[in-house]
Amino acid sequence: MIITITGLPGAGKTTLIKQLSEILGVPWYSVGNLRGKMAEERGMTIDELNVLGETEAFTDKEVDEYQKKLGESGESFVIDGRLSWHFIPNSFKVFLDVDPDVGAKRIYNASQKGERDDEKAYGSVEEVKQFIADRVASDVRRYQKYYGVDFLDRSNYDLVLDTTNLTIDEKAKIILDRLKNAS
Task: Determine the topology of domain 2-182 in CATH.
Answer: Rossmann fold (3.40.50)
Q: Quote the pLDDT of residue 138.
A: 86
50 burial type by CB count under 10 A (0-12 exposed, 13-18 middle, 19+ buried): buried
User: What average pLDDT does the structure give for the chain?
Assistant: 89
Confidence of residue 163 (pLDDT cuts 50, 70, 90): very high
The average pLDDT across 151-171 equals 96
Q: Is the pLDDT of residue 116 over 80?
A: no
Q: Quote the pLDDT of residue 110.
A: 84
- Render pLDDT for 5-24 as a digit per residue (tens, 0 to 9): 999 999 999 899 999 999 99
For 147-179, what is the HEC assignment? HCCCCCCHHHCCEEEECCCCCHHHHHHHHHHHH
Q: Is the pLDDT of residue 117 over 60?
A: no
Q: Quote the pLDDT of residue 120.
A: 63
Name the more confident of 64 and 17: 17
Q: How far is CA 108 from the centre of its chain?
A: 17
Confidence of residue 119 (pLDDT cuts 50, 70, 90): low
